[in-house]
Structure 1
Amino acid sequence: MTAESIRRVGMIGLGKMGNPMCRHLRKAGFEVTGTDISEAVRRNLEAAGVKTVATASEVAAASDFVIVVVGFDSEAETAILGPNGVVAGAHPGLIVGVASTVAPRTMTRIAARLHGTGITLLDMPLTRGEPAAEAGKMLTMVGGDEAAFAAVKPALNTFADAVFHVGELGAGQVGKMVNNLILWACISANHEGFRLAEALGVDPGRLRTALVESSASNWAMKTQIQNQPMPWAEKDMRIVLGEADKLRLSLPLCGVVKEVVKSVKYERGWPTPEEPD
């Protein structure tokens, strides 16, 4: 397929990321079909001109390009490979992009199951969070076939203002892992630094105004993302540590960061999504 031929985009998962992504695609003139396990979520999006259906297989049948943006690896695999998944409704030439943050080995596992189906698989995890999703200013790192990437890039540009092809299938998820490790390390350092300032009688808010202009500045500090709930932090770090263990690679900072972020969430009463059984 070419960029000109892809006009029908499907979305599996219509939550805080998938919902605005659908709206941006629709506004840009794409024909959008979406699904979510929640009927109420589906009804809500229909008001924005997005056609919704009950199953991922129906999304696949109505689409040239299907984006999967669900919470966990197991959900992504079920959405694509399950009884009512993408494969059940797929047609030759279909491109599937996994926008969920999953382990690189999950992409490899899905790709092996798709061999011979005529489906092209890309990984395209998203960064910058929910505010960027609403603004259409996310960043995505894409791994997989370059021709497929070129074909879907105009669709990606409707909700992401930074779109990069970073290598073969799985490379996008590796990029997201590295992004997450560095991001959570910055969040942890910011948290401890401002705790120190407060303990010494300095107002953290006033200090932050200075620090965002200093050599200590970082994206997390500028956006104050550490003041927002961080539902996926532990999952992000589990993926990083799991890949490192498989490679027998020691990442001691990652383990510390995971515990710091967990303690912040416990302290503030922020929830952590549970992977479905």
Structure 2
Amino acid sequence: MTYRLPKQAKKLLEQQHTLPYLLYTDNGGYQVTIYTTLGKISGIVIQHESGKTADEKETEAILFQLQKYYFYFEYLRKRLALVKEKDSSIAEKIEVQSAILEEQVLFDEKIQPKADALKTMLHVFDQQQCKMDVYQEDISLLNEKIKLQQKITSEDWEAAEDLAIAFGTSAYAQSIYLQDYRSLRKALQKWTAEQQKQLPAAKRRELNKLLTLLSDTNAGLVFDHILSLVPRLEENLMLDKERSKAARISEFQKEFGNYVKFYKPDIAKVKALVRK
């Protein structure tokens, strides 16, 4: 038997948030208040700056803008909820501890290709994470700018679109290279165990530190969270997954860029939540 909260109890749990800026149409600015119950949107109120409730046409225009701006940074929100910025701290540790993979004379012919592939993967992870950290800061600054000026200008819309494409492309590039991380780590782990007695003590410790960092309870957990979001990035895109990594990233950048630029939200479901 499913327990349902009485309507009165739901009202008590309801929270409201008024956007700290106005959304504009040719008729002026509109204030949007969003009501949530237990984390889910339960109602939306749209009022003209004069105090008048928006009519149907005005409501649709505002909902279109509201959903489009939300869409731009939807992936970032989902990623933050899962990873909680651990990707940045992991990248810093990887930059230091992956230096052991530069030791060309350390590895034999059997493991060298795997070590090189792991080195490339970790380099791409760090490189793209650095880019995303910058983009995330730019997004925060953009949101603060919009809040201070009380509106989203045409310049802001362009910036949001560009940042959404840039962040998504970096995230995809990072994800594509991460797909082989577990097999590469296990190969290096097996080789290190087999070569314990032959490896210099200092090098063995460095390798073990790196392998511990890449374990399933450390960086591996973060990698898995990032990989779980790949379907979200690929959604509604026609991509050839049989191509090389570089070709896939290039194709994604083009397809995702067009998808973001021409994105048209379906407002029907959200429109049903509008309160008059």
Same fold flag (TM > 0.5): no
- Name the structure, 1 or 2, with higher relative contact order (CA <8 Å, separation 6+): 2
Taking structure 1 as the reference length, the TM-score comes to 0.33
Greater fraction strand: 1
Taking structure 2 as the reference length, the TM-score comes to 0.33
Over alpha carbons, which structure has the higher Rg?
2
Greater fraction helix: 2
